[in-house]
Chains A and B, each alone.
Chain A
Amino acid sequence: MFSNGVLVYSEYDEGAIHPVAFELLGKSREIADRLGVEVWGVIVGYRIGDDKARELIYYGADRVFIYDHPRLEYFDPVLYRDVLVDLVERVNPSVFLFGATPLGRSLAPRVAAAIGAGLTADCIDIQVDENGDIIQVRPAFTGNILAYIKTTSRPVMSTVRYRVMKMPNRDTSRVGEIIRLAYSLGRDSGIRVLGRISRRSVDLGRADIVVAGGRGFRKKEDLKMLEDLANLLGGVVGVSRPLVDEGWMPRERQVGFSGNTVKPRLYMAFGISGSPQHIAGMRGSEVVVAVNIDPSAPIFKIADYGIIGDLYEVIPKLIEELNRIKRG
């Protein structure tokens, strides 16, 4: 049978493929063309239509493997590992990529340990060097360093951060093969998903504009101005960790190492000092604006535009200016 393809785990939940899979297919296409091999996708779940597999093909896959079973409806790292190990044994991929989503970061290490493979976490770049070796680039030490890593086992396995690879074009003229694989899920995995109990209400990772507040805010009520500003800009509100610890905002609003990694076109930081843990989550922002009364605040070192001033004066003025522009 065929082998050596670049395989992309395509996270599937509630009838939708996670978009990081499309980004990875784009990257895989580049890698595969360099190596002269195919691009493959794999979808694990329940009631997966061919239309979903075709999407992967439109974004660059040559073949799509599907494991479809009622017991695979919810993520179970043990059963999902079983089918992915089965696939690796059947098709012998040269590279196996996962999105660095919570699911990917829970599943990929199980598969890697099962097959004795190295695994590189949370990559922000993947390159092919002149020898055809895969080079994985990832931040470590809370984002203070970038490590360049080669893997000596096969397949080369990594989880890759969402929204760092370019989204490829969706080309509906592309054709490929859809292969449904049967696998007899044996034993009880010991895991039972009793249900989805809440949905995330905001995904900072996908926001184009993030308006963030830190300990420069004196009380919870004052965050209202931040919300007003975010609404005017069409952005979403984020916060530094102390505000989450205070209970002023839920964790899903936190930017940073122990919160969300954001990559907006515009990041505005009000009353945030710029600790390494905070920067780790927003370093990839395109344009950074910082407002702080302390001229020596480290956030200014990574700002495109900094205002040395009091956020309690700056934000109302900003709102006023933006309103004026809106009125024309």
Chain B
Amino acid sequence: MSFHTIVLVKHVPDIEKVRFDVETGRIDRSSAPGEINPFDLNAVEVAVRLKEKLGGMVTALCMGPPQAESSLRDAIARGVDRAVLLTDSRFAGADTLATSYTLASAIRKIGRFNLVVCGEKTVDGDTGQVGPEVAEHLGIPHVAYVCEVREVYDNRLVVVSDMGDKFLVEVMLPALITVTRDVCSPRLPTLRDILRARRSRIEVWDADALSGFIDISRIGLKGSRTNVFRIVIPSEYHRRGVILRGSDSVSKLVEALRMEGLI
């Protein structure tokens, strides 16, 4: 039986480029090109290394807008074999509960797997919740903050989980892990891989494609239980903004810190 890893990747805006409108509290997603969530590169790398060690295959799964295809092509260039994009306006507006439910439903449809790998968190949602929630929907164990995969067998893994202190944990498969940046460094795809990925097929599934696996009332905005009703963009910080230059700047700083009672 071959080892099948499913890796969850999200398509996120490049956070260095994305613009925020201080007045309206709007995020202008069109201001920044999308890319694969940086933390998910580590998840892809772990999955691909497992394949290189054990054989088998890796499937990347992403829920997002049609443009998210580019992130899946990136994953293919880095060694993923099969890519599935969940895209449908009915999926939109999902919080972590609805997102994880949708991803779990798609995993059920994909069928047999040994392991699901997630990134530690996303740079936009930034919750780190989707992984453990997917595990719960699937009824499988999970280990979060995996910083090292020590031993791999076809029915179990031994990993190090970084919870502040580090713990050695054995987990029976199928299971889900979320990985930190320490787990491995992501490889750079070669030009050949990138060209190959450009020609590869991405399977696109809408909500109907998941019928039999999904309850439509639990997806998207309707299936969400948290509601963002206001966004504030901190425009200026309440900082003193004292700029010092010249030869006496250090003594002025020391004086100021003494006044603040800090030294």
Residues of A102-124 contacting chain B, CB below 8 A = 102-103, 105-110, 112-114, 116-122
Interface 9-residue window, one of A33-41, A75-83, A87-95: A75-83
Residues in A neighbouring B163, C-beta threshold 8 A: 75, 101-103, 106
- Which residues from B are CB-within-8-Å of A2? none
User: Do A304 and B244 touch across chains, with their CB atoms under 8 A apart?
Assistant: no
Distance in angstroms between the alpha carbons of A152 and B222 in the assembled complex: 11
- B160 nearest in chain A by CB position: A197
Across the interface, B127 reaches (CB within 8 A) one of A116, A122, A277, namely A122
| A147 close to B228 (CB less than 8 A) | yes
In the bound assembly, the distance between CA atoms of A74 and B101 in angstroms comes to 28
B contacts with A, residue count (CB < 8 A): 79
Known pairs A191-B143, A301-B237, A307-B245; list 13 more (Cβ under 8 Å). A77-B141, A77-B144, A78-B141, A121-B128, A140-B125, A149-B229, A188-B172, A275-B16, A307-B244, A307-B253, A308-B244, A314-B250, A318-B250
Closest A residue to B100 by CB, please name it. Answer: A113
Q: Is B191 engaged at the interface, CB distance under 8 Å to the other chain? A: no
Evaluate contact between B27 and A141: CB separation under 8 angstroms: yes
What's the least CB distance linking B135 to chain A, in Å? Answer: 7
| Chain B residues whose C-beta falls within 8 Å of the C-beta of A75 in the assembled complex | 163, 167
Q: Decide if B160 touches A152 in the complex (CB within 8 Å).
A: no
Residue of chain A at shortest CB distance from B144: A106
**A residues engaging B (CB < 8 A)?**
74-75, 77-78, 81, 101-103, 105-110, 112-114, 116-122, 139-142, 144-153, 188-200, 203, 209, 233, 251, 257-258, 265-266, 275-277, 283, 287-289, 295, 300-309, 314, 317-318, 321-322, 325
Report if B1 contacts A (CB, 8 A): no
Cα distance A199–B172 when bound, in Å? 25
Contact A197 B228 (CB under 8 A): no
Partner of B225, one of A103, A117, A145: A117
Residues of B in contact with A (beta carbons under 8 Å apart): 15-16, 18, 20, 25, 27, 39, 95-97, 100-101, 120, 123-133, 135-137, 140-145, 158, 160, 162-172, 175, 181-182, 224-234, 237, 239-245, 249-251, 253-254, 256-258, 260, 262-263
Bound Cα distance A304, B244 (Å): 11
B165 in contact with A119 (CB, 8 Å)? no
Q: How far, in angstroms, from A77 to B258 measured CA to CA in the complex?
A: 47
With contacts A109-B132, A190-B171 known, is A148 near B97, CB below 8 A? Answer: no
Among A112, A190, A209, A309, point to the contact of B97 (Cβ < 8 A): A112
| A78 cross-chain contacts in B, Cβ below 8 A | 141
- With A and B bound together, what is the CA distance between A216 and B64 in angstroms? 39
Contact B169 A113, beta carbon cutoff 8 Å:
no
Within 8 Å CB of B245, what residues of A?
307-309
Q: In the complex, what residues of B have CB within 8 A of residue A302's CB? A: 237, 239
Taking the closest CB of chain B, its distance from the CB of A296, in whole angstroms, is 12
| Alpha-carbon separation in the docked complex, A9 to B144 (Å) | 18
Ordered by A's residue number, 14 sampled pairs between the chains whose C-beta atoms are within 8 Å are A77-B143, A110-B133, A113-B132, A121-B127, A140-B124, A144-B18, A145-B233, A148-B230, A152-B227, A188-B172, A197-B160, A199-B166, A309-B249, A321-B250
Shortest Cβ distance from B134 into chain A, in angstroms?
8
Chain A residues whose CB sits within 8 angstroms of the CB of B250 once the complex forms? 307, 314, 317-318, 321
Contact (Cβ within 8 A) A105 B144? yes
Q: Which residue of chain B lies nearest to A77 when distances are taken between CB atoms in the complex?
A: B142
Chain A residues with CB under 8 Å of B260's CB are 266, 287
Residues of the A chain whose Cβ atoms lie less than 8 Å from the Cβ of B124: 140-142
Q: In the bound complex, what is the Cα–Cα distance between A107 and B136 (angstroms)?
A: 10
**Contact check: which of B97, B123, B140, B257 meets A116 at CB < 8 Å?**
B97
